[in-house]
Amino acid sequence: MHTYRIGVAADSLALVQARGGWRPTSRLLAETPVDALEGGAALGNSLRRLLADVPAAGRPVAVVLADDLARIWQVTPPQGASRMADLEAAAALRFQALFGAPAAGWRISADWDADRPFLAAALPAPLLASLQGLAAEHRFHLVEITPQFVAALNGWRKLRRPGAWFALVHGAVLTLAVFEKGALAAVRTALIPPGSDRAWLAAHIAREALLVGVGEPALVQVCGGAPRAWAGAACMLLGGDIASDWSGAARLAVTGSVA
């Protein structure tokens, strides 16, 4: 059975049909721009255009959001935390400290853990409402709504090696999950300069280890559109860029679906 995957970027949307099994495949079905002139209705109208000719009723649909539409951060649980409310409060306080405003208007989810730092993500409530309304209108099953980095991290979970750091390359952005002794230590984002080679990556990893205060990893596992020149003993490219000729929104849609 196939599923549909929707990639949502700030300026465009893409719809992909994905099939699992021993040989997973992805087929690009449709793309459409998001017209800023439509104001608050832009996303909903664009989603309707995207699905206009697709029989989505009854189908599972997963949505992957561009990371710049979401907020992703690491939370250290408060000492002695014993209730879910303690963890939720810690995540909300960290959100405000990092992003300069309360989390009102955002929906927070996380790998809640009272014993060690965990990853949290927040999605805009109006965007979620648009997607949920579309699911009701077209009668499909909205199985998940995930920021791209989280989709990649989850999609490659089984192939991630102990002690390795994990990274996603999308466009000119590198997002890095820093691990120390099996626990998430930080999530870091950086722009990739044009022509960056293996030496640049090694220097970047060394600098991030110093900034976070952890040891350098023996291996970094990188998915997405990473330069082939990065591959080597200290860098494993996961799956390559399976849709190198697709748009950014289309690549969003397939993130995590073929690992």
Q: What is the 3-state secondary structure (H, E, C) of 147-185?
A: EHHHHHHHHCHHHCCCCCEEEEEECCEEEEEEEECCEEE
- Asked if 133 and 44 count as a contact pair (C-beta separation under 8 A), the reply is yes
- Residues 108, 12: Cα–Cα separation, whole Å: 24
DSSP-H helix ranges across 80-238: 84-99, 125-138, 148-155, 198-212
Q: What is the pLDDT of residue 257?
A: 74
Q: Say whether pTM exceeds 0.75.
A: yes
Return d(Cα 34, Cα 164) in angstroms, integer: 37
Closest by Cα among 17, 43, 39, 40 to 30? 17
The angle, 0 to 180 degrees and rounded to 10, between the axes of the packed helices 125-138 and 42-51 is 30
The tokens for 15 are 């719809």
As averages over each run of 10 residues, the pLDDT of the chain (259 residues) reads 87 87 77 72 83 86 95 91 91 95 95 91 93 91 95 92 94 94 91 94 97 96 92 88 75 79
For tokens 């976070």, the residue is 212
Structure token pair of residue 168: 């996603």
In DSSP terms, 32 is beta-bridged to 13
Q: What is the pLDDT of residue 37?
A: 54
Sheet holding 71-75, edge to edge: 71-75, 118-124, 106-110
Do the Cβ atoms of 238 and 177 come closer than 8 Å?
A: no
The pLDDT value given to residue 20? 66
Pair 142, 131: CB distance under 8 Å: yes
Task: Please tell me the predicted confidence (pLDDT) of residue 53.
Answer: 83
Spell out the domains of the chain, with CATH numbers in brackets: 2-67+124-147 (3.30.420.40), 68-123 (no CATH), 152-254 (3.30.420.40)
190: β partners: 174
Q: Per DSSP, what are the bridge partners of residue 240?
A: none
CB-based contact 82:114 (threshold 8 Å): yes
Distance CA 201, CA 193 (A): 10
Note every long-range contact of 180-184, with CB atoms under 8 Å and residues 24 or more positions apart, other chains counting. Answer: 180/212, 180/214, 180/215, 183/116, 183/117, 184/74, 184/116, 184/117, 184/118, 184/119
- Rounded distance, CA 28 to CA 251, Å? 10
Instruction: Give the separation between CA 187 and CA 167, rounded to whole angstroms.
Output: 9
